[in-house]
Amino acid sequence: MTYDLRTESWIPFRRLSGAVEWGPTDLLVDALDTDPVVALAAPRADFDGALVEFLIGLLAVAYLLNDEKEWRELWTNPPSRAAFAAKLASLPAAFDLDGDGPRFLQDLSAEDLAGEPVAPVQEILIGGKSNRLVFKPGTVTQMGFPSAAMALITIQTYSPAGGRGHRTSMRGGGPLTTLVDPRPAGPRGPMERSLWRYLWANVPLLSDLPGAQAIERDRTPASDTFPWMGPTRTSEGDRATTITEVDPLQAFFGMPRRIRLEFSDGGGTCGLTGRTEGRLVTGFRVKSYGVQYQGWRHPLSPYYAGKMPNEWLPVHGQSGGVGWRDWYSLLYSAERKLAAQVVTRFNQYRADRVGCTRYALRAFGFDVLQEKARAWVDARLPAFGAQDEPQLNRIHDLATSLASATDVAAFWLQRSVVAALYGPSEKPSGDLSHIKSALWSAMEEPFYEAVFRALDEETPLEEMRTVFHRRLLSAAESTFDSNVMADASHPEQLRRAVIARFDLTSTLRGLGSQGAKLFEALQLAPPDVQRARTTRTGGPAEIR
């Protein structure tokens, strides 16, 4: 008997009732009308993220959607457990974690890796080799089969640089994943809150994947989709694998690392879950020059234009996380940036048709610096489906200007705090980037209020920009005051604080060249023009 991930109870699911249940993949569609599965409950957040991507890929290869009508039918009427299990059973036998045949996400040739040393199982975790783990489980010496399968999916999906010949994931080290989460925040029916709905919202059509629709699947080797089913397309001499050489659905099953798990003969306690398991994984062998992917566009990631013609590079997680400054470019393609294909498809073809114009955008992934995973990024941004083009242009114009204005204000806020605390001769000590971050955080709510109001075309954009400016000024002053404690017993420091705050307020009110830059970003008339207008009309000259 092999450990087949299609039928084994290896995934920890959380139901609507709060109960956690370990089950097979088809538990996704169990009890949808009463107590459905609503989330994963893996021992690590990166496992949850990688499992979500794996399950979306599994749905994509099981159903091979050709049009939106097929997608909408299963949105409204999901399959029964038996029907879903039958779909999974019809796939190639590519999901055995162990056994003498092809092993899931592992190199086909045991002989090729036989001469490699056995690495401790902890090193299969991202960050485990350097022991700089983002998630702190302590030392892990053994894993049960469920944890080992999750770890394997995670390292192959997000693999960072690992030294010469150890390839990164299809999207490089630390890719950012963006998904539509259509589930309502408030109370709704059980199925509307199910994990099935979340996953199904992000299943692409074959037409979204270049060349996938034209493949004759009954004649195509399984290794074109599941690379471990055949000899590894190794990358010595920088040999690359492009999307035209294999099934584009391999995007969900990439295998950049050549790995073979090592199993123990007996059972014991899994070091990640604490569960008693009948069999354990105690280590793994690894060999360099796995598959090197080149020129792919993964359907779950946003991209930006590179320096070369027609070069698109995947967006990666950043140390500052994901916030509202990234909002528009993650939702809609604009200015040398492409939203993830699944997000674009939902906005353009699905949101209106299934009555889900308001949803959440999930963005997650590692913040990686070279070989080091520094943090796990996970954000949930309010979003809405695409409206008509004039409305989108209006929202883009507003979102861009508010982000640009906040960028200018954050720069001058931090500069003013430094001037107040240190003066011209003393250098700042430590990292002061938290000052800018505080302002960006403070402006999150005003930003979303503005862009959602922009859906109402009756509201003038100038009005929303003016309101945003008032709140930006107030937030900057508050942030300055919380970071600069003026002390009357130190006259020089008090003098610096008063001058710095005055300069900050004057700049943010539009005075001077930098104040003009702020108002230009906001697309508002500068104060002298506003004064001239209000003088002619007899109104107050106060811009605040």
Give, for all 544 residues of the chain, the pLDDT tens digit: 799 999 999 999 999 999 999 999 999 999 999 999 999 999 999 999 999 999 999 999 999 999 999 999 999 999 999 999 999 999 999 999 999 999 999 999 999 999 999 999 999 999 887 655 576 667 899 999 999 999 999 999 999 887 777 899 999 988 999 999 999 877 789 999 999 999 999 999 999 998 898 899 888 999 999 999 999 999 999 899 999 999 999 999 999 999 999 999 899 999 999 999 999 999 999 999 999 999 999 999 999 999 988 899 999 988 778 999 999 999 998 889 999 999 999 999 999 999 998 999 999 999 988 778 888 999 999 999 866 888 889 999 999 999 999 999 999 999 999 999 887 767 777 788 899 999 999 999 999 999 999 988 888 999 999 999 999 999 999 999 999 987 767 788 889 999 999 999 999 999 998 899 999 999 999 886 555 444 444 443 333 3
301 CB-near residues (< 8 Å, 6+ apart)? 171, 175, 176, 177, 178, 314, 315, 340
| Separation of alpha carbons 439 and 477, rounded Å | 10
pLDDT given at position 214:
87
**pTM, entire model:** 0.93
First and final CA of the chain: distance in angstroms? Answer: 74
pLDDT given at position 488:
66
In Å, how far are 407, 410, 537 from 522, measured between CA atoms?
Answer: 11, 14, 23
pLDDT given at position 85:
98
CA gyration radius, the chain: 27
3-class state of residue 372 by DSSP: strand
pLDDT given at position 136:
62
